[in-house]
Amino acid sequence: MTTATTTNRKVNYKQGSAAGRWIRHHLVLILGLLVLVYTFVPIFVVVLMSFNDPTSRLIYRFDGFTLHNWLNPCEAEGMCGALSTSVQIGLLATLGSTILGTLIAFALVRHDFVGRSSMNLLIFLPMASPEIVMGSSLLALFVAAGRGGQLGFWTILIAHIMFCISFVVVTVRARLAGLDDNLEQAAMDLYATPQQTFWRVTFPLVFPGILGAALLSFSLSFDDFIITNLNAGNTTTFPMFVWGVAQRGVPMQVNVVGTVMFLVSVLIVVGGEVNSRRRSAKLV
């Protein structure tokens, strides 16, 4: 097989200079890397603008270098309050959706019940509905229930838990379905009780999936705008703050938050990758 490919490649690339051949051989990879570079262009702008020393609040361009924005993040009026609201909602929504979603994932993979296909549909639909529809239907419900005047922190939290559950179920279910249940059987064979098997074997093996689901929930909740904006009342989250200042003039501190979010998520993902490599190295 390998020889066949090599000869074939030789036939295909016989013509042309060495450089042309190299480019043709790596064309897909080069194009792919270009797309990747494109995804980073706005991030570069965000990082750059976080060091910007603007001359006017209304003109959004790079005027000069300063550390001021990084040293005084809360100077942007209302931003730190919005950030803290977003973090609180994010943490609570993560906790709620991770618990509810993980329970569902265990039921789906490990238990038999009536109505499996409608259950799958119930999990799938929230991920396939446009946010504007989910947001407006929740608002319609809150108003119909006479809670139209009490929109705020708790209605946002309810909404966030709702749209995060499905993503948790899908993530944890994938991890659970890929689990080798010989390990659990071995534990049982060694006289572990079902509880011991669960907490000593199953749960640690599923935990990376649960952690991943929690991180995903937090970032979904932290970043949501459309559903939140409909159900927020007078409460302001970070994305809503950015939306508001986008019309009036953007304080550069917004870019500081953007940069920090980027760095933290890269650290978490890289850390997770390194950790799992170290673990698999240990096992070998």
Binding-site member from 79, 93, 161, 187 for other proteins (CB under 8 A)? 161
- H/E element, 164: helix 153-177
Judged by CB under 8 A, which stretch of 13-21, 65-73, 199-207, 238-246 contacts other proteins?
238-246
Q: Does 219 bind other proteins (CB under 8 A)?
A: yes
Q: Does 239 bind other proteins (CB under 8 A)?
A: yes
Binding-site member from 111, 280, 281, 282 for other proteins (CB under 8 A)? 111
Q: How far is the CB of 15 from other proteins (least distance, A)?
A: 14
Q: Does 55 bind other proteins (CB under 8 A)?
A: no
Cα–Cα distances (Å) from 220 to 224, 244, 246, in that order, read 6, 20, 21
Nearest CB to other proteins, comparing residues 114 and 283: 114
Interface with other proteins in residues 16-35 (CB under 8 A): 26, 28-29, 31-33, 35
Q: How far is the CB of 68 from other proteins (least distance, A)?
A: 18
Judged by CB under 8 A, which stretch of 15-23, 70-78, 161-169, 202-210 contacts other proteins?
161-169
**Distance separating alpha carbons of residues 87 and 1, to the nearest angstrom:** 55
Nearest CB to other proteins, comparing residues 40 and 207: 40
DSSP for 31-70 reads: HHHHHHHHHHHHHHHHHHHHTB--S-SS--S---B-SHHH
Cβ–Cβ < 8 Å for 103, 169 = no
Judged by CB under 8 A, which stretch of 70-78, 195-203, 205-213, 247-255 contacts other proteins?
247-255
Name the nearest CA neighbour of 201 among 176, 174, 167. 176
- Residue 265 is classified by DSSP as H
Q: Does 189 bind other proteins (CB under 8 A)?
A: no
Cα–Cα distances (Å) from 104 to 146, 167, 173, in that order, read 31, 11, 9
282 by DSSP, 3-state: which?
Answer: helix
Nearest CB to other proteins, comparing residues 17 and 118: 118
**Distance separating alpha carbons of residues 194 and 278, to the nearest angstrom:** 29
Binding-site member from 15, 64, 113, 281 for other proteins (CB under 8 A)? 113
